[in-house]
Amino acid sequence: MDGCWNVIGRLMLLNVLRGKRLRERTSGCALHVGQLPVLECVIASPGCTQHQLASRLMVTPASIAQSTKRLQRAGLIEKRVDEENLRCNRLYATAEGVALAREHRESFDQLNEETLRGFSEAELCELAALLERMIDNINDDGVSLNPPWKEKKHD
């Protein structure tokens, strides 16, 4: 079982290195690296609620509340009161938010290409299948494994 620690350790190291690279590329930007999934989810699901975001991103409502507050202060999203339920706020990305998300997505995509450089299509498929098995081993909640910011439905 020593090999499993090596595998998990390597996955953790990969995550740390990718985060470092992304922070270097996006330093000085209004959008923090960890906020991109939140902003992309709002862009993909205009009018979603904070509760829906928390559910899709598998984080706490308190975490989403902080993120949306920061995104709103930065002018990247806006909250609008739901006309049918005045206690409910709906989230919408601003034009600036959409542009900034696109710019950040390009940085992420470039890093993805760099990370996977030199792998054949067969190797990528094999790696994806192995990672999928690992995910299935611990995903007993039946949670969607699709990137939540690419889903276009409301709860």
114 found inside a domain: yes
pTM: 0.78
Over the stretch 14-48, which tens digit does the pLDDT of each residue have?
999 999 998 888 887 778 878 999 999 999 999 99
74 found inside a domain: yes
20 found inside a domain: no
8 found inside a domain: no
Range of the structural domain that residue 62 is part of: 33-150
78 found inside a domain: yes
Look up the CATH number of the domain holding residue 116.
Answer: 1.10.10.10
pLDDT of residue 30: 76
Rg (alpha carbons) of the chain, rounded to whole number: 18
Q: CA end-to-end span of the chain, whole Å?
A: 41
Token pair for 65: 């509340």
Determine contact, residues 46/149, Cβ cutoff 8 Å: no
